[in-house]
Amino acid sequence: MKPPAFDYVRAESVEETLAALAEEGDEARILAGGQSLVPMLNYRLVAPKLLVDIGNLGDLAAIEADGAAVRVGATVTQAQFLAWPGLAESLPLLAQALPDIGHYQIRLRGTVCGSIAHADPSAELPLCLVALSGTIMLRSRREARDVAADAFFSGALSTTRAPEEMIVAVRFPKRRSGCGYAFREFAMRRGDFALVAVAAIASDDGMRIAVGGVGDRPRACDLPPLADAALADALNAFAWELEATDDHFATAAYRRGLVRSLGRQAVAEAMRCRG
């Protein structure tokens, strides 16, 4: 359980980081909080030639309002995000979801953008970003581009980020008036990755439901306003559409059941708190 040899650079600037990525391509990995990358190194699941530690990059450490969104820089930890004073007001969905990420110790080191980059299909942050239709801000030495969350996650632990690109920030759209937000998660234990997690955003005009933990990436569907029976049918249809699979904790059928029940609860909660 020791990593293979690698080179290590503690980057002093975004430019230096991008230069290293341009040079090494997919032989390089960015090290931020290390909560996923370091175990993968120790398991020898990944063997990068170079680790670029971005922990020193102060200009990526901000959480700030950016028009109708909140922009979270690449070195912001999950704990810092959770402690951000504007969270409950601007991002009620995140205020509910962040406490379910791992444990206190993990959130202290784990970064918001790192979780997005890692793209675990059961993780809370990619799910929230998809539910809110947020964007990922990528930079390479040649260009900067924004990618919609739906277009970013391409499979389990897989994204459309190019090897020479880094995530400099992600943007979570702020609460919209008339909308209610709810998050529900079921995990085997407190702090575990979700077996199923559901985010719901509801308004008088309809609702958006996003599901994580089922399938290879978080997925969302948009529904018109529905009465209970029609909502149950719609959730059942969505549950089947997600192509759940069995593992030794849960069958596909069980996961579909959770989509139905957590979905029902999340929608009801989101409807209740439309503001």
Partner 1 sequence: MSDRESRRIGLPLERFEDRALLLGRGRFADDMPVPAGTLHAAILRSPHPHAEIRGIDAAAARALPGVFAIVTGEDVRRWTRPFTVGVKQKMEHWCLAVDRARYVGEPVAVVLAEDRYRAEDALDAVAVDYAPLDAVVDPQLALAAEAPVLHAGVGGNLVSERRFRYGDPEAAFRAAPRRIAITIDYPRNSCTPIEGLVVLAEHLPGAEGYEVLANFQGPFALHPVMALALKVPGTRLRLKTPPDSGGSFGIKQSLFPYVVLMCVAARKAGRPVKWVEDRLEHLVAASSATNRVTTLTAAVSAEGEVTALAWDQLEDCGAYLRAPEPATLYRMHGNMSGAYKVRNLAITNRIVLTNKTPTGLNRGFGGPQVYFALERLMQCIAVELDLDPLEIIRRNLVPADAFPYRCPAGALLDSGNYQEAVARAVAEGGLDELRRRRDAARREGRLYGIGFAAVVEPSVSNMGYITTALTPEERHKAGPKNGAQASATVALDPLGGVSVAVASTPQGQGHATVLAQVAADALGLEAAEIRVTVELDTAKDAWSIASGNYSSRFAAAVAGSAHLAALRLREKLARLAAAQLNVPAGEIRFAGGRIFAAGNPENSLAFARIAGTGHWSPGTLPEGAEAALRETVFWTPPTLDPPNDADEVNSSAAHGFVFDFCGVEIERDTGRLRIDKYVTMHDAGRVLNPALLEGQVRGGFAQALGAALFEEFVYAEDGSFLSGTFADYLLPTTAEVPEPQILHIATPSPVTPLGAKGVGEGNSMSTPVCLANAVADALGVADIRLPMMPARLKALLEPAEPPPPARPASPGQSAAR
Footprint of partner 1 (CB under 8 A): 1-5, 43-44, 130, 133, 150, 153, 186, 188-193, 208, 217-224, 233-234, 236-238, 240-241, 248-251, 253-254, 256-258, 260-261
Q: How far is the CB of 127 from partner 1 (least distance, A)?
A: 11
Of residues 14 and 252, the one with the C-beta less far from partner 1: 252
Q: What count of residues does the chain have? A: 275
On whether the CB atoms of residues 14 and 168 are closer than 8 A, the answer is: yes
CB 210 → partner 1: shortest distance, Å?
A: 8
What residues have CB less than 8 Å from 120, skipping those under 6 apart?
36, 126, 156, 157, 193
Nearer to partner 1, 55 or 191 (CB): 191
Contact 127, 199 (CB under 8 A): yes
Residue 83 or residue 253: which is nearer to partner 1 going by CB? 253
CB 11 within 8 A of CB 20: yes
Least separation in angstroms between CB 8 and partner 1: 14
Of the two residues 179 and 223, which places its CB atom closer to partner 1 in the complex? 223
Bridge-based pairing of strands 50-53 and 28-31 is parallel
DSSP sequence for 40-54: HHHTTS---SEEEE-
Residue with Cβ nearer partner 1 (103 or 145): 103
| Rounded least distance, CB 96 to partner 1, Å | 18
Residue with tokens 């200009």: 59
Residue 256 CB, nearest distance to partner 1 (Å)?
6
Position 98: which residue type? L
**Which H helix or E strand runs over 149?**
helix 149-152
239: amino acid identity, one letter = A
* Closest approach of partner 1 to the CB of residue 38, in Å: 14
Q: From CA 242, how far away is CA 219, in angstroms rounded?
A: 8
For the chain, percent helix, then strand, then coil, each to nearest 5? 35, 30, 35
| DSSP summary character for residue 99 | G
Tell me whether residue 5 or residue 227 sits nearer to partner 1 (CB atom): 5
CB nearer to partner 1: give 1 or 227.
1
Which H or E element spans position 180?
strand 180-187
Q: How far is the CB of 188 from partner 1 (least distance, A)?
A: 6
